[in-house]
């Protein structure tokens, strides 16, 4: 199958390309100028240079393809540069889907995220609206909603390498957020980290599986851990025996983030704190059973890449 991928140069995309190639598919990637080097085995892929906002580039990317996979997503906006959730996660998808339909493609898979149904912040709202637009489009569609995704980021950042760099490595106690006024609940938020290779396998496996048409799959790994347990696991995997932690009220962190989030150097946004406080627990068993995948467990042995970084 020829598979058009928008957002295939990222962390998940690199594993998806590997998985598609292993399955005998031919990936066709829309690649922003300067991101070509991020594509693994690019001699076995078709690369189309352009942006998701460029209609001609989108049309060329989907031309001759049998399926479309949309992976583009961001965690923070920079409106002055045109980088908004609306443009990247909603309009970019709407335009990609329109281009795919015009090219006769009737198989579309969308990367969403766990928790989007809460629609509490623009990240979730725009992904949820993209899901709804897809569901009404008349194509054979599938949506995946992963929890946090871990795995060797191959030179990029994923959530474990980022937590290690920002929370674990600095010589300060790691901050754990708590809702309300009870610091004893700091870091209690449940998460279901899911392995990137398992996510990629789900995307590739669903392509020609009619049982996945019209389905939304939550994707969480087999272990549910608290945020505090995750930070501890990352510290140990990175070679530290322990890491001191310090409780911080979520409302206070949000107030500071609102002031500084417009600066790229500030590590997180108020909306990210909101999503963190929601927790990120997801049951991936329906997808893993359907696609015959034995999911990788989150733990020190799966985080060997942190010791190298």
Ligand X SMILES: NC(=O)c1ccc[n+]([C@@H]2O[C@H](COP(=O)([O-])OP(=O)(O)OC[C@H]3O[C@@H](n4cnc5c(N)ncnc54)[C@H](OP(=O)(O)O)[C@@H]3O)[C@@H](O)[C@H]2O)c1
Provide the binding-site residues for ligand X, judged by CB under 6 A: 7-13, 32, 35, 38, 51-52, 71-74, 83, 88, 111, 113, 146, 148-149, 156, 158-159
Angle between helices 92-102 and 55-62 (to 10 degrees): 50
Nearer to ligand X, 37 or 182 (CB): 37
Minimum gap (Å) between residue 33 Cβ and ligand X: 9
SS3 254: helix
Minimum gap (Å) between residue 28 Cβ and ligand X: 14
Nearer to ligand X, 63 or 280 (CB): 280
How buried is 294 (Cβ within 10 angstroms: 0-12 exposed, 13-18 middle, 19+ buried)? exposed
Minimum gap (Å) between residue 242 Cβ and ligand X: 26
Nearer to ligand X, 104 or 156 (CB): 156
Q: Which residue's Cβ lies closest to ligand X?
A: 10
Contact between 9 and 72 under an 8 Å Cβ cutoff? The reply is no
Tokens of 16: 């998806």
Minimum gap (Å) between residue 71 Cβ and ligand X: 5
Nearer to ligand X, 1 or 157 (CB): 157
Nearer to ligand X, 31 or 174 (CB): 31
Contact between 37 and 9 under an 8 Å Cβ cutoff? The reply is no
Nearer to ligand X, 73 or 238 (CB): 73
Tokens of 4: 């058009």
Minimum gap (Å) between residue 303 Cβ and ligand X: 14
Minimum gap (Å) between residue 72 Cβ and ligand X: 4
CA 171 from centre of chain: 29
Contact between 189 and 227 under an 8 Å Cβ cutoff? The reply is yes
Tokens of 112: 């969403």
Q: Where are the alpha helices (DSSP H) in the chain?
A: 11-22, 55-62, 85, 92-102, 122-135, 159-163, 196-206, 227-237, 250-260, 270-278, 285-290, 304-308
Minimum gap (Å) between residue 188 Cβ and ligand X: 20
Nearer to ligand X, 39 or 253 (CB): 39
Give every CB contact of residue 190 below 8 A, 6+ residues apart in sequence.
224, 225, 226, 279, 280, 281
Nearer to ligand X, 182 or 285 (CB): 285
Nearer to ligand X, 111 or 168 (CB): 111
Minimum gap (Å) between residue 36 Cβ and ligand X: 9
Tokens of 124: 């979730």
Minimum gap (Å) between residue 295 Cβ and ligand X: 15
Q: Cα separation of 61 and 299, whole Å? A: 38
Length of the chain: 309
CB atoms within 10 A of CB 304: 10
């Amino acid at each position: 199958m020829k598979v058009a991928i928008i957002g295939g140069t990222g962390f998940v995309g690199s594993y998806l390309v590997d998985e598609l190639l292993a399955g005998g598919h031919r990936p066709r990637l829309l690649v922003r100028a300067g991101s070509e080097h991020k594509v693994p085995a690019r001699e076995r892929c078709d690369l189309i240079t352009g942006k998701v906002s460029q209609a001609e580039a989108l049309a060329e990317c989907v031309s001759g393809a049998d399926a479309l996979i949309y992976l583009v997503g961001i965690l923070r906006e920079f409106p002055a540069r045109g980088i908004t959730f609306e443009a990247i996660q909603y309009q970019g998808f709407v335009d990609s889907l329109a281009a795919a339909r015009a090219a006769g493609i009737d198989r579309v898979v969308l990367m969403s995220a766990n928790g989007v149904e809460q629609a509490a912040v623009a990240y979730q709202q725009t992904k949820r609206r993209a899901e709804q637009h897809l569901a009404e489009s008349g194509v054979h569609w599938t949506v995946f909603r992963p929890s946090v995704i871990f795995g060797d980021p191959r030179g990029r950042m994923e959530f474990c390498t980022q937590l290690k760099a920002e929370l674990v490595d600095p010589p300060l106690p790691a901050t754990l957020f708590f809702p309300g006024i009870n610091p004893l609940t700091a870091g209690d938020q449940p998460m279901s980290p899911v392995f990137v290779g398992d996510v990629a396998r789900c995307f590739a496996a669903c392509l020609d599986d009619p049982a996945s048409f019209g389905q939304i799959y939550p994707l969480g790994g087999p272990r549910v851990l608290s945020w505090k347990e995750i930070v501890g696991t990352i510290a140990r995997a990175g070679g530290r025996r322990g890491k001191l932690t310090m409780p911080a009220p979520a409302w206070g962190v949000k107030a500071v983030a609102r002031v500084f989030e417009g600066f790229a150097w500030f590590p997180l946004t108020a909306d990210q704190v909101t999503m963190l406080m929601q927790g990120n627990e997801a049951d991936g068993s329906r997808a893993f059973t359907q696609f015959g995948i034995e999911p990788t467990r989150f733990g020190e042995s799966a985080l060997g890449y942190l010791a190298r970084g």
